[in-house]
Amino acid sequence: MRTNTMDDKAGVCNGKDERSKIGKVTPRERDEISALFERKNGLTELIKALVESGDEILTNSYFYEKIVADLGKTTTLHQQWWDRCAQRYQWERVSGCIWEIDFETCNIYLRKI
């Protein structure tokens, strides 16, 4: 599952329910966000591993800047996907809740955080 924080409107997610289905995306759209999600997580884990290991590679500013630039671009594309689909499908935005995708079913849920 993938989540994305959205805090544009006061309220809670569907009363006492922990999450509620608010829509569905196409398999193609699911594949787009899945690829971005995996890339973003991979880059984040790479940076964490290099920092934790004290690897000299981080002292190479060119390499470090490439990783950070790629992570920034991927994060932007990731957020643009959520924004684009939210607009297309008119998903509700609720403070204190996040959107979540089930990659197997393509369902989108609104879940309390």
Partners of 4 in beta bridges: 99
| Per-residue pLDDT reduced to its tens digit, 62-103 | 888 899 999 999 999 999 999 999 999 999 999 999 999 999
pLDDT of residue 14: 53
Where exactly are the structural domains of the chain?
Answer: 2-112
Contact 26, 106 (CB under 8 A): yes
pLDDT of residue 12: 47
